[in-house]
Amino acid sequence: MASFVRGLKCRLCGKLYPVEPTNFCTDDFGPLEVDYDYDAIKSVLTREAIAARPFNMWRYRELLPLDEAPLVGLQVGGTPLVRANRLAAILGVSRLWIKNDAVNFPTLSFKDRVVAVALSKAKEFGFNTVGCASTGNLANSVAANAASAGLEAYIFVPADLERAKILGTSVYGANVIGVRGTYDEVNRLCTQVAFKYGWGFVNINLRPFYAEGSKSMGFEIAEQLGWKTPRHVVAPMAGGSLIGKIQKAFQELALLGLIDQPRCSFYGAQATGCNPISDAVKTGKETHRPVRKPNTIAKSLAIGDPADGYFAAKVIRESGGWSEDVSDPEISEAMALLAKTEGIFAETAGGVTVAVTRKLIEQGRIPRDEDIVLCITGNGLKTQDAVAGCLTEPAVIGTSLEEFEPLLDRSREGQPLLV
Ligand SMILES: *Cc1c(COP(=O)(O)O)cnc(C)c1O
Ligand SMILES: [Zn+2]
């Protein structure tokens, strides 16, 4: 497999760097991004070539930053794009789809995409030990993929994370370190650890490669819509990377002549308890003001000082999109709504996305008769407590039919089973 990567490039000043485990420009501390030879890619990557490959993220491998065939996460991606007519009816829109990364393999979130690239790259660089700073899903994914790749993993998380996310990390045999602090404080510690021990931290020194993995969600959306982009995309934002990478994916497909020039507006979704990017968009600030103490049940999105906040706000603004944030009760209620209408149990971030979409439709920011795709990024089984308060307890009866029949009567009258 040939590599189509020319090097790394500063997103602020354009300075070029060789392919190395580094993530910032030494001149201006701007983030580095992978630079590709698109002319060379164009000569090999056709719709037919893509269609002939297995339906996972690697069918777009020329647009991902590896030198060799992938070594980690070979089955990641290829998640369903679901036409969501029942949710559409409730929201009052005509054409709605859900890109469902709640069923991504192996750890049920879109983070498997970024980790597949980051750990494959870590192997190419020769790292034996990898790590991350995480709000939960990244921890799960690094731990699982490192286990299957035979890599040692050190995972740093805020100590107050959901139990399921901690357990779903330690089960893979990773070294899990709960840090008493916010995600931003965890991240700062990890920067020191990465530097001191020379390990590959997926979202620090491997970040330029890691972030490219998110593009595969955008490639799949366009292909699954029949090589078309939707008019509107709503995505949850934590560090603010995913939303910009979906836009980049659409632009790359157009550059390669695989789709028409996209006209797509991007909408970023956050929780009100940690809304640095949506606040920047709504108040017209160019750079966000960090949230020092995030306070929301959407812990996976609780990054107070998002690394790509500036770029996310720019993508939203320049695409004609918008950003909103929603309260914890709205998040829980929207998790239940998505499950009841579409049979999709998403985590808190999914509740954020659905609730923000509803708000933007009500505000008239998203029109009712154009194609809308919602990015559902994580699985509800990991954040069960967040929705428990919205549900009724199951009715418990004895083993006789007589005890069931009154329940059935109540149910047919539209009453709750339990009295
Ligand atoms: C990490 C994460 C996001 C946000 O990703 P960024 O690229 O950091 O903005 C969204 N949803 C879930 C479930 C996540 O774990
Ligand atoms: Zn620079």
Question: Smallest Cα–Cα separation from 142: which of 129, 156, 158, 153?
Answer: 153
Least confident of 59-68, 336-345, 402-411: 402-411
211 Cα nearest atom in ligand 1: 7
* Alpha carbons 205 and 228: distance in angstroms, whole number: 34
* Alpha carbons 228 and 155: distance in angstroms, whole number: 38
* Alpha carbons 330 and 147: distance in angstroms, whole number: 37
CB 113 within 8 A of CB 95: no
Residue 109: per-residue pLDDT = 98
Model confidence at 3, in pLDDT bands (50, 70, 90)? confident
pLDDT, tens digit, 9 for 90 and up, residues 371-396: 999 999 999 999 999 999 999 888 99
pTM comes to 0.97
| Residue 237 CB–ligand 1 contact under 6 Å | yes
DSSP code for 261 = P
- Beta carbons within 10 angstroms of residue 402's beta carbon: 8
pLDDT, mean of residues 15-19: 97
CB 237 within 8 A of CB 321: no
Model confidence at 233, in pLDDT bands (50, 70, 90)? very high
Percent of the chain's residues with pLDDT above 70: 100
Res. 419: pLDDT tops 70? no
Res. 221: pLDDT tops 90? yes
CB 247 within 8 A of CB 221: no
Tell me the CA–centroid distance for residue 394 and ligand 1, in Å.
32
Domains of the chain: 81-107+213-388 (3.40.50.1100), 395-419 (no CATH)
pLDDT, mean of residues 271-295: 97
DSSP codes, 330-348: HHHHHHHHHHHHHS--B-H
pLDDT, mean of residues 50-69: 97
Residue 47: per-residue pLDDT = 97
Q: Which ligand is nearest to the CA of 383?
A: 1
pLDDT, tens digit, 9 for 90 and up, residues 304-325: 999 999 999 999 999 999 999 9
Return mean pLDDT, the chain: 96
* Alpha carbons 373 and 104: distance in angstroms, whole number: 17
State which of 325, 377, 381 you would mutate to test the pocket of ligand 1, scoring each by most atoms of that ligand within 8 A of its C-beta: 377
Question: Smallest Cα–Cα separation from 36: which of 319, 255, 216?
Answer: 255
Nearest residue (by CA) to ligand 1, atom 11, is 377
* Alpha carbons 197 and 320: distance in angstroms, whole number: 44
- Chain centroid to Cα 251, Å, comes to 19
DSSP codes, 139-151: HHHHHHHHHHHT-
- Beta carbons within 10 angstroms of residue 38's beta carbon: 15
- For residues 62, 65, 68 and 72, what is the CA-based torsion angle, rounded to 10 degrees? -110
Q: Which ligand is nearest to the CA of 28?
A: 2
Q: Beta-strand (E) ranges in 188-231?
A: 200-201
Residue 191: per-residue pLDDT = 95
139 backbone φψ class: left, alpha, beta (φ>0; ψ -120 to 50): alpha
Nearest residue (by CA) to ligand 1, atom 5, is 238
pLDDT, tens digit, 9 for 90 and up, residues 123-140: 999 999 999 999 999 999
Percent of the chain's residues with pLDDT above 90: 96
